[in-house]
A and B are shown apart, each in its own frame.
Chain A
């Protein structure tokens, strides 16, 4: 059995979201151990574990914490990124719903390590029950003395504020998130200075993903070597892979980094019956799509990069042969146009023109020249945009043209989309 449930392990326990259930499963033991250590020793342990950020970029978590300058007078902050909005990504939401105390415990340990006294979790607003569960967990943690003054008699004080967003994908970008948390429009900031030096309220700040932080308690409790025993040399540990789309059993599969899509698909019962894999995203819509050629690529940071894509959020969106790749990419382009914050020209204008061109292609008014224009425009956005949203918008466009140019051409010769949209739905057999 290649699966390694750690974060997901509690999700089938009765009332798994409560402090009582969490404590029955060794909850808050990692915190007790951490508080008996020097903060720097906690940072060293997380470094040693090889944990890399699960929010998309894979930056080493312990190293990020060690960048916080110590000894100054400004307060330090931990901000957890719970904005989960990257299309396809659906792991942090069930994690907070089923096991919110792992996040809270991780936040206390991380805050202690970086010497923060006030931390925030920024949750997207469109998930009411997830918000209730996290607020409830924070309240229960205060009641038990895991938060507040003199935590467990250690002399350490910490407050956590749960902050609710209001619908904006760009607020997942860490500097836009900080502007939003300060009460402004969520637009990315110029870097440097990096958040570690001047983040929230211009103070030293660590921004980490939910899954990154929730992974910390077990690392402290069971040790860095335990964590390193899973995954690969450069991509250590367990992580949640999310399978969605045309698979027999979509869902969350927690496995060591480095498994392949072939292995995961086998667990998930394969592509839906009677159909075959056409294309997939390794880590959300901002990561270049892959095809059947890539079934055996190790799904770790290095493996996916080696085939020209990115591991991203490990959001494996699976599409079978009934799906029109042009329609899929057109819809993602509409998303990026809608979510572009408008701050820089390449992204604001580029996504606008993407949508125009895809409209033409889908309605049968496209030309061969449009396909070249898409590539030219992508070159003008990639690396020239102010933040990674712009780069992400180019990923589906350029990769789909690389692997499926024929299908774009079919839209020109066929006078629009040659696919039947009903065939790709989950209710295809029933209503057609």
Chain B
């Protein structure tokens, strides 16, 4: 289904703002793909055509780029997109068990979405949170130090529309709203969440207690 005139006008204005950030228009392609993904939860044919028209590229050129990057989806994500890290460290510490359990629990395989459209599930590579392993991401917010049981409870609450607060991040909205933020549009929520989790502070906490208790510096 083609975009309505209203949608098209809005995307055109947003794209112009994106293009203005760069010395050359083509640099806007990745953010514009995030922008079109914020419309339908994936990069649709309309999205590809829109990006191509906006930047004066062929659809084939846009597809070549879109398929290179794992975040651009070919099918709609759920309202909450869940990524379980199964790179070696998380896998060994429990990520493999968590992913296997969630697949069974949700009754979905591969990169799929629950029939109610609430939760999509995929495995992800190292998300730079290894000191909090095993790690689960929801709409690219951190849910640290997961177990099979906690991850199950997490997705149950997501399906029930009662999302828990991320360990280090802003409160969850929807996948598409996150994608709009990734296209570079401020959602005004930078002040939510903590500065750092306990593992980030592990060394600093030791240093503080050594230096305040009169220990040598």
Task: Give the interface of A toward B (CB within 8 A).
Answer: 1, 3, 5, 8-9, 11-13, 15-18, 75, 84-90, 92-94, 97-98, 118, 124-129, 131-133, 135-136, 139, 161-169, 180-186, 201, 242-246, 249-255, 267-268, 285, 315, 317, 319, 323, 327-328, 331-332, 335, 338-339, 341, 421-422, 424-427, 430-431
Contact = CB atoms under 8 A, between A and B. Distances in A.
B76 interface: no
6 A-B pairs closest in CB distance:
A251-B202, A253-B203, A136-B190, A166-B69, A167-B70, A251-B199
A252 B207 CA distance: 12
Given A135-B184, A421-B97, A331 B190 contact: no
B106 interface: no
B30 A183 contact: yes
Interface of B: 21-24, 26-31, 33-34, 55, 64-65, 68-72, 83, 86-89, 91-94, 96-97, 124-134, 137, 139-142, 145, 147-149, 166, 168-170, 178, 181-184, 186-187, 189-193, 195-208, 210-211, 215-217
Nearest to B25: A183
A426 B150 CA distance: 13
A186 B68 contact: yes
Contacts of A250: 130-133, 199, 202
A169 B127 CA distance: 10
B60 to A, nearest CB: 13
Contact of B29 (A12, A18, A183, A323): A183
A427 B201 contact: no
24 contacts: A12-B205, A17-B190, A17-B195, A85-B125, A85-B126, A89-B128, A90-B130, A94-B197, A132-B186, A135-B190, A163-B30, A163-B31, A166-B71, A167-B71, A182-B24, A183-B30, A244-B131, A245-B89, A246-B93, A250-B199, A252-B200, A323-B92, A331-B87, A427-B148
Contacts of B55: 183
Given A85-B125, A250-B131, A328 B190 contact: no
A323 B87 CA distance: 14
Contacts of B133: 244-245, 250, 426
B92 to A, nearest CB: 5
Contacts of B91: 327, 331
Contacts of B184: 135, 162, 164
